Every structure is written in structure tokens, then in C-alpha cells.
Amino acid sequence: MKTFRYLMFLLFVMLFANGAYSQQGGVTKKPSTEKKTTPNTQTVGFCKLLISVDKESCLSVDEKTYGIIRHGSVKAIWVDKGEHIIIVMSSDNKLLLLKQVIEITDKGTKVLDLKIPETQVEQNQDKKVSNDNNDFAVDYGIEMILVGGGTFTMGCTSEQGSDCEADEKPSHSVTLSNFHIGKYEVTQKQWKAVMGNNPSKFTGCDDCPVENVSWDDVQEFITKLNQQTGKDYRLPTEAEWEYAARGGNISKGYKFSGSNNIDYVAWYDGNSGSKTHTVGQKLPNELGIYDMSGNVWEWCSDWYKGYPNSTGVSDYTNQYRVFRGGSWYGNSRHCRSSRRSHSTPGIRGYDLGFRLVFSK
């Protein structure tokens, strides 16, 4: 009996020494000859960017958000050959701190040590629209952008996806001539200079858009402005507004005015803090126009009715005027470039403003 136990002990020792014993269920296995590898979860591209920022902020590359990057840390991102847009927003994703375009031509690793200018946050927090006092005295600081004429598809286009409303259909071709449109929404300072009053709810911010103005109020403003400046300002047509919002003849086909990422270009219910903001704080669109998505809805000159060959949309000529663009109060769907809304010409709202147009 002792001899049998001794033999069993020797057999166990031999098996254990050869690595043939597994503790998984007490069964024997043939030793594996395969080389173990660690799975690679990093998506490898043409070049590796090592990005650091000197302030805690929110980092995006080519409209893909990489979240918060803290001072002293480094974010590694793989990119392909070509141009890439780097955007740094404040950590609450409300203020634009830096926009930089880089071109990648070589493989390997590129180090980007981004520094936010000390003046940038101050400028974003208290941005002034007028260039100088003389410009303001002559034309109330109104800056206009030339929109080159062209043909575009108006209404529910593919990038709008399932968010389209019935009155955005059918999409249709529209051709426009050159016109100028306001670089910014008309501000409270500009309204006060022309009208001598301020109807806005969100006062104490001269460079915030004027709001709480009806379509009829805006016509009175335009009449006085034209008398004082000798120009022929007016509201944009609905087609002019959408063409400019989409980027005119250099459009990149974004869902919102200037980006597919709404936080880059708009103040809406997701980031506004339930109020308007100084114009021009977000990124402009392709034409250099600001806030065509969000901040305040913008009156257009048209009566509200269905598009050509539409069904189920009534003609409200002589009843409702159109406004566009969404606002600080609405959700992202309202801020799309094709979104339409309407109301009576006499209605006022804390999210209703406008921008100007003139043709030459």
C-alpha cells in the first residue's frame, strides 16, 4: 500500500514539473505553444497627434469631441494625411477658446502644445461688435457680409435626416442673385441708437441681440434706419436666409449653420443657461456669419406658406410671417438650417430678433 502511494506521488510530481496540470477543473491539458499577444485597441492612422492645452478645456478634432483635457495632460489622437480642424472650447463647452487648422503631410508623431491667449476668454465674455466709435456713428456698427449668388436646394436635404418637418418638404431648387447680410444679429445697442428704447428682456448686455420685437416693430426700425443712413436695409427673404445659413455657394452641407456639432455654432437650450448671449461668440459659418443657428429666432420678410408642390401645408398669406434659426430657448432641432417657424406679425417674444439684408 505504501509502495502504491509512493508511485502515485512520483507521477504527480512528474506531471506538475512538465506543466501539464491545470487547476481549471483539475484536468490535464497539453501545454500551449501559441505566443500570447495583447489586443491593440488603438485605431492607427497616418500620424499620431500628441495634444496638450495650457488650460482645462474641451478638445475636438474634425468635429469629433474628445472630452475634457486637463492642464498638464496629453491626449493622443490618430489622424490621416491632410488638413484637420482643432477646436478648443471652455470646459463647460460654451465659449470658443481656440481654432487651429493643421496639415499633416508626414507619418510619425506630431506634438501640439496649444496655448490659449490670455485675452481670448475676456474677449469672449465681453465681445464688442462695433469696430470703433466713428464706424458706429455713421452706420450704427452694422457689419455686412457679401453673399455671392447661386443655386441651392432649399428645404429637407439629406443631412437634415429624420428631423425634417412637413413644411420643409419637398426640397426644391432656388436661384438667387448677390446680396449682403448682417454678420451679426441686430444688437440692443444698435436698436437703442435708432429707436431710443430697448424692448429686450435680457438687458444689461449691449452686444446681445435685441429681442422681444415683432415683425411690425422691425419694419419701423428699418424705416428709421434707412432714413438716417440713406441705405436700403430690409429683412431677408426666407430663401436668402436659408442660402446664407447654409454657407451660400461655398456650403459644406452642414446640418446647422457652420457645423454638424451644434455646440460649436449655437446657443440653444443645451448650453444657453436660459438667456441670450453676446453675438459672435460661437464659430461662424462658411461665409463668416455668426449665430444663424440659435441665440434668437430671426424674422424673415415672407408670409408663411407651403413650398411649391407641397401637400398638407396651408397658405397663411396675410396671417403669419416666417422666422428662422432657433433660439436660446429651443432644442437643437429648431436650430437646423432648414427649420421653419411662423407667427402673426404683431407677436413679440424673448427669443425673437432679426438680422438685416441689403442688395446692390
Cα 307 from chain centre: 27
What's the confidence (pLDDT) of residue 260?
Answer: 94
What's the confidence (pLDDT) of residue 4?
Answer: 52
Phi, psi of 93 (to 5 degrees): 65, 30
Task: Say whether pTM exceeds 0.85.
Answer: no
- Domains in the chain, ordered, with CATH? 47-121 (2.60.40.2070), 126-358 (3.90.1580.10)
Between CA 267 and CA 304, with CA 222 as vertex, the angle to 5 degrees is: 65
What's the confidence (pLDDT) of residue 187?
Answer: 98
Asked if pLDDT for residue 184 goes beyond 90, the answer is yes
Question: Can you point out the beta strands (E) in 12-149?
Answer: 47-53, 57-61, 64-69, 75-79, 82-90, 96-104, 108-114, 144-147
> What integer best gives the mean pLDDT of the chain?
85
The pLDDT confidence band at residue 44, using thresholds 50, 70 and 90, is low
- For the beta sheet containing 340-343, the strands, ordered from the edge strand earlier in sequence to the opposite edge, are 340-343, 321-324, 297-303, 352-353
The pLDDT confidence band at residue 42, using thresholds 50, 70 and 90, is very low
Mean pLDDT lowest for which of 72-86, 143-157, 203-217?
Answer: 72-86
Tens digit of each residue's pLDDT (9 = 90 or more) over 312-331: 899 999 999 999 999 999 99
Tens digit of each residue's pLDDT (9 = 90 or more) over 293-305: 999 999 999 999 9
Tens digit of each residue's pLDDT (9 = 90 or more) over 21-32: 333 333 333 344
Q: Nine-digit cell at 268? A: 440653444
The amino acid at residue 297 is W
Residue among 189, 201, 332 at smallest CA distance from 264: 332
Q: Are 305 and 318 in contact (CB under 8 A)?
A: no
What's the confidence (pLDDT) of residue 100?
Answer: 83
Asked if pLDDT for residue 355 goes beyond 90, the answer is yes
DSSP class of residue 296?
A: S
Asked if pLDDT for residue 132 goes beyond 50, the answer is no
**The residue to which cell 419637398 is assigned:** 170
What's the confidence (pLDDT) of residue 43?
Answer: 52
* Radius of gyration, CA atoms only, the chain: 30
Asked if pLDDT for residue 72 goes beyond 90, the answer is no
